[in-house]
């Protein structure tokens, strides 16, 4: 059984449609992530923003609209507010602090890894290379976060 065959949503694991927000400033990485996410039907909706402030604005707007983001895929190296800044603000906001955050970044610096976890990241994933790598990473994220894990009630 391939990793692609094992990625099925478990009934009851998620309460309603799943919206994912990808925060990525590199157009090639954003395109690769979206391509894999669409192929795997990762979520009902995947939105993309390219900087930290836009991510916070989108998270707050989605919450106000009654369709909060169910999973945040966050790059650390962003223009303006970087991923660390986003994490700090997110975890300080009572309305957004339980949003699951997967860091999806090219940095393997131990300071970035430690900092992300200290600031409340739920997982830290190094960006893959090639389409197969992106498919495997997105399938694993889907399998765990959207099929196995029980997410906070929205």
The domains of the chain, with CATH numbers, are 19-143 (3.40.50.2300)
Q: What is the pLDDT of residue 31?
A: 94
Which pairs count as long-range contacts for 148-152, CB under 8 Å and 24+ apart, including other chains? 148/10, 148/13, 149/13, 149/100, 150/13, 151/13, 151/14, 151/15, 151/70, 151/71, 151/100, 152/98, 152/99, 152/100
151 pLDDT band (50/70/90 cuts)? confident
Residues 8-21: tens digit of each pLDDT: 444 445 556 689 99
2 or 119, which is more confident?
119
Q: What is the pLDDT of residue 125?
A: 96
* Average pLDDT of the segment spanning 121-131: 94
Per-residue pLDDT for 5 more than 50? no
């Amino acid at each position: 059984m391939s990793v692609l065959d094992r990625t099925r949503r478990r009934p009851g694991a998620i309460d309603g449609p799943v919206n994912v927000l990808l925060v990525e400033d590199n157009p090639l990485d954003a395109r690769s992530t979206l391509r894999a996410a669409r192929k795997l039907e990762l979520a009902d909706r995947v939105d993309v923003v390219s900087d930290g402030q836009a991510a916070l604005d989108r998270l707050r707007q989605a919450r106000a609209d009654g369709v909060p983001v169910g999973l945040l895929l966050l790059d650390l190296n962003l223009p303006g507010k970087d991923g660390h800044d986003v994490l700090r603000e997110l975890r300080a906001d009572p309305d957004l602090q339980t949003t699951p955050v997967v860091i999806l970044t090219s940095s393997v610096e131990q300071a970035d890894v430690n900092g992300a976890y200290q600031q409340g990241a739920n997982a830290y994933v190094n960006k893959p290379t090639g389409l197969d790598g992106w498919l495997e990473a997105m399938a694993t994220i889907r399998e765990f976060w959207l099929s196995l894990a029980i997410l906070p009630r929205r």
